[in-house]
């Protein structure tokens, strides 16, 4: 029996879709009170019989901060995919981000060891790799460097990944994926899919940076491949291409039949942007779309090598432009409904 954490979220829901498509028996951990409607929506994008396929998932209540709920949920589980995390760059979320990502992952690792789980796949991030702006390609050997420029989210993911390495030293059979920015349909008001709604609402500025991007379906396929093959004790960058934000926005604009953002927001303008939004937050209580941390990343040039994964598995990635086009089509369809 397989168990997925984070199945009500963007990546986990796509993973559940691919696992159930292959006819696998799957349990998914869900916090009490959390909804499964995003997962249902994601199944409806791809499945011939979405409801039937969705009903193959056995939902089980639990919280990665509640150790005993994990040991109960892991009963009878052989393979574990851990995709649950708090993805937030807002200052007010800092303590929660550290607790959920770092302590939560330590709990998952300890429960997996206690329950003798056969194999675990952990969804880390490229944010945990030591990255030098403008420098050579970053690969899996790049070690985390503590800096006051790192986001709390990246720090929490670094601590979480360290827990998985600790688990491996204690005998856990595990593999780690480090995805770059994941592209695909999901909640258009949160996480990486939000960028489609931001452009739709009339984004005028682009930033000068570059980053790696990968299609969410490729990420799910890569995880299943690594879990089913003879891969263990390693981490793999999962990233299709390195693309400038300007190019990414142009592809999105073209696919959505909208004008591309015309003005470049360098570090100075982005800095003004996040400060103004922070002030606005005090009045509206609404979390700003740009934070100091996202503004900083958006002006950095990060490039990743995916050689280790492609040479090991032979898997080919969907080009980012195609991934943007597919996602934009689903977004537009929903906006017209």
Assess contact for 328 and 252: CB atoms under 8 A: yes
Residue (194 or 264) nearer to ligand NAP, CB:
194
Interface contacts to ligand NAP, rule CB under 6 A:
5-6, 8-12, 29, 31, 34, 63-65, 83-87, 100, 104, 123, 125, 157, 179, 181-182, 191-192
Q: CA 316, 328, 275, 284 torsion: positive or negative? A: negative
Assess contact for 239 and 319: CB atoms under 8 A: no
Assess contact for 9 and 185: CB atoms under 8 A: no
56: part of which helix (H) or strand (E)?
A: none
Residue (191 or 267) nearer to ligand NAP, CB:
191
- CA dihedral defined by 193, 194, 200, 206, rounded to 10 degrees? -100
Backbone angles phi, psi at 116, to 5 degrees: 50, 45
Residue (11 or 276) nearer to ligand NAP, CB:
11
Tell me how far, at minimum, the Cβ of 16 lies from ligand NAP, in Å. 10
CA separation for the pair 230, 312 (Å, rounded):
10
Residue (63 or 218) nearer to ligand NAP, CB:
63
Residue (34 or 232) nearer to ligand NAP, CB:
34
Assess contact for 149 and 296: CB atoms under 8 A: yes
């Amino acid at each position: 029996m397989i168990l997925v954490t984070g199945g009500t979220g963007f990546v986990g829901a796509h993973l559940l879709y691919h696992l159930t498509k292959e006819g696998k028996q799957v349990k998914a951990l869900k916090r009490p009170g959390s909804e499964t409607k995003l997962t249902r929506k994601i199944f409806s994008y791809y499945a011939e019989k979405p409801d039937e396929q969705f009903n193959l998932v056995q939902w089980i209540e639990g919280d990665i901060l509640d150790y005993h709920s994990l040991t109960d949920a892991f009963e009878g589980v052989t393979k574990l995919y851990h995709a649950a995390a708090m993805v937030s760059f807002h200052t007010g979320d800092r303590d929660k981000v550290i607790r959920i990502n770092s302590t939560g992952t330590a709990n998952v690792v300890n429960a997996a060891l206690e329950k003798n789980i056969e194999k675990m796949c952990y969804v880390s991030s490229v944010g945990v790799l030591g990255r030098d702006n403008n420098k050579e390609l970053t690969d899996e050997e790049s070690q985390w460097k503590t800096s006051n420029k790192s986001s709390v989210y990246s720090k929490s993911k670094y601590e979480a990944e360290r827990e998985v390495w600790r688990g491996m030293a204690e005998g856990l059979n595990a593999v780690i994926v480090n995805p770059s920015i994941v592209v695909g349909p999901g909640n258009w008001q949160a996480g990486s899919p939000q960028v489609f709604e931001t452009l739709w609402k009339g984004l005028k500025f682009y930033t000068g940076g570059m980053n790696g991007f990968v299609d969410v379906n490729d990420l799910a396929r890569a995880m299943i491949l690594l879990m089913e093959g003879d891969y263990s004790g390693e981490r793999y960058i999962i990233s299709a291409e390195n693309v400038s934000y300007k190019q990414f926005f142009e592809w999105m604009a073209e696919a959505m039949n909208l004008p591309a953002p015309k003005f470049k927001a360098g570090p100075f303008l982005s800095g003004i942007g996040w400060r103004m939004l922070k002030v606005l937050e005090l009045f509206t209580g609404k979390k700003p779309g740009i934070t100091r941390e996202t503004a900083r990343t958006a002006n950095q040039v990060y490039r990743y090598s995916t050689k280790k994964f492609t040479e090991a598995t032979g898997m080919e990635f969907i080009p980012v432009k195609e991934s943007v086009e597919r996602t934009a089509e689903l977004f537009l369809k929903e906006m017209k409904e």
